[in-house]
Amino acid sequence: MLVSAKEMLEKAREGKYAVGQFNINNLEWTKAILLTAQENNSPVILGVSEGAGKYMCGYKTIVGMVNGMLEELGITVPVALHLDHGSFEGAKACINAGFSSIMFDGSHYPIEDNIRMTTELVNTCNVLGLSLEAEVGSIGGEEDGVVGAGECADPKECKMIADLGVTMLAAGIGNIHGKYPENWAGLSFETLEAVNKEVGDMPLVLHGGTGIPDDMVKKAISLGVAKINVNTECQLSFQEATREYIEAGKDLQGKGFDPRKLLAPGFEAIKAKVKEKMELFGSINKA
Ligand code: 13P
């Protein structure tokens, strides 16, 4: 059964480790992450962007697939199904479809509007027992080939949003989605420390987990980060393994073209990447 992310993140924050959010794109991705979590006795969060939601035939399809897998694969570790960077409408759609956790990303609105919309969702999520992630200070990333710098959140605004009763807070600390540019200044620990001081025990979320050096990841965890999102690194591992398979001509041998065989190296690569991240984040045997 899917669970809210609240308990697993409170335990992580308390125990000074982080739970990984791994984004899913298809059946193979989902199965690889769930099996790795189970094999390593780790809690896990499956992230779904609105784009991935559309690709996978809508939120109801995803809920059906994930619930089916939990049962058929005998998954007993805590699993949350989480909307990643949701719009207000997307958040409502995922709540209706049966997601157990929601992110409403109101970081691009003026703070008053972010507060208003987040408040409405806090009330709904509380009634239904779902966890809710809010965001302050937008997280940069690549758009049309240009990599935008990650903003640093205003700690006072973080407190205003945290006080609304959200479960977890994503605060921009110079992190960005996708690969980091050569001249990236690194995470702003000054901002993270200030945010952490303002929000008390609230689990903090680090987006853009791909390519952050291990020592920075560990320091972020020591300063209240309890959830770390990883997407691009799994995609790169999948791509590399698939390319090797094709370049070695294995798709041309025997029944190598069979999608079950063609996708198998990528599936194994995602499993290895997820395990590596769970080790780094310290979530193994914390289920
Ligand atoms: P990366 O793609 O940089 O790993 O970031 C993932 C993320 O933050 C999803 O919200």
Q: What pLDDT, on a 0 to 100 scale, did the predictor assign at position 133? A: 98
- Residue 141 in contact with ligand 1 by CB distance below 6 A: no
Element (H, E) at 33: helix 27-39
Contact 77, 44 (CB under 8 A): yes
Tell me the CB-side half-sphere exposure of residue 215, using CA atoms within 13 A.
1
- Residue 184 in contact with ligand 1 by CB distance below 6 A: no
Contact 117, 135 (CB under 8 A): no
- Count other C-beta atoms under 10 Å from residue 161's C-beta: 26
Predicted model pTM: 0.97
Mean local confidence (pLDDT), 237-251: 98
Atom of ligand 1 nearest to the CA of 85: 10
Specify the residue for token string 């690969």.
179
Give, using CA atoms, the residue closest to atom 9 of ligand 1. Answer: 229
Contact 78, 3 (CB under 8 A): yes
Q: How far apart are CA 144 and CA 165, in angstroms?
A: 36
Query: Could you tell me the distance, in angstroms and rounded to a whole number, from the CA of residue 193 to the centre of ligand 1?
Result: 22
Tokens of 202: 């609230």
Q: Is the dihedral of CA 238, 240, 245, 247 positive or negative?
A: positive
Residue 214 catalytic? no
Q: Is the pLDDT of residue 145 over 70?
A: no
Q: What pLDDT, on a 0 to 100 scale, did the predictor assign at position 148? A: 64
Contact 72, 36 (CB under 8 A): no
Q: How far apart are CA 180 and CA 197, in angstroms?
A: 27
Give, using CA atoms, the residue closest to atom 1 of ligand 1. Answer: 208
Query: Could you tell me the distance, in angstroms and rounded to a whole number, from the CA of residue 230 to the centre of ligand 1?
Result: 5
Pairing of strands 146-147, 142-143: antiparallel
- Residue 105 in contact with ligand 1 by CB distance below 6 A: no
- Residue 101 in contact with ligand 1 by CB distance below 6 A: no
Contact 20, 230 (CB under 8 A): yes
Query: Could you tell me the distance, in angstroms and rounded to a whole number, from the CA of residue 231 to the centre of ligand 1?
Result: 5
Contact 67, 2 (CB under 8 A): yes
Choose the residue to mutate in 22, 24, 177 for probing ligand 1, maximizing ligand atoms within 8 Å of C-beta: 177
Q: How far apart are CA 266 and CA 100, in angstroms?
A: 27
Tell me the CB-side half-sphere exposure of residue 209, using CA atoms within 13 A.
31
- Residue 232 in contact with ligand 1 by CB distance below 6 A: yes
Angle, helices 88-97 vs 111-128, to 10°: value is 10
pLDDT tens, 43-67?
Answer: 999 999 999 999 999 999 999 999 9
pLDDT band of residue 150 (cuts 50, 70, 90) is: confident
Contact 210, 231 (CB under 8 A): yes
- Residue 207 in contact with ligand 1 by CB distance below 6 A: yes
Query: Could you tell me the distance, in angstroms and rounded to a whole number, from the CA of residue 224 to the centre of ligand 1?
Result: 18
pLDDT tens, 178-213?
Answer: 999 898 999 999 999 999 999 999 999 999 999 999
Average pLDDT over all residues of the chain? 96
pLDDT band of residue 139 (cuts 50, 70, 90) is: confident
Query: Could you tell me the distance, in angstroms and rounded to a whole number, from the CA of residue 149 to the centre of ligand 1?
Result: 14
Q: What pLDDT, on a 0 to 100 scale, did the predictor assign at position 66? A: 98
* Chain centre to alpha carbon of residue 216: 18
Choose the residue to mutate in 45, 139, 232 for probing ligand 1, maximizing ligand atoms within 8 Å of C-beta: 232
Q: Is the pLDDT of residue 268 over 90?
A: yes
Q: What pLDDT, on a 0 to 100 scale, did the predictor assign at position 142? A: 67
Q: What pLDDT, on a 0 to 100 scale, did the predictor assign at position 144? A: 59
Mean local confidence (pLDDT), 266-281: 98
Mean local confidence (pLDDT), 85-111: 96
Q: What percent of the chain has pLDDT over 70?
A: 97
Q: Which amino acid is at 271?
A: K
Give, as one character, the DSSP assignment of residue 209. Answer: -
* Chain centre to alpha carbon of residue 255: 35
Cα separations in angstroms, 202 against 63, 86, 158, 266, 271: 27, 20, 11, 36, 30
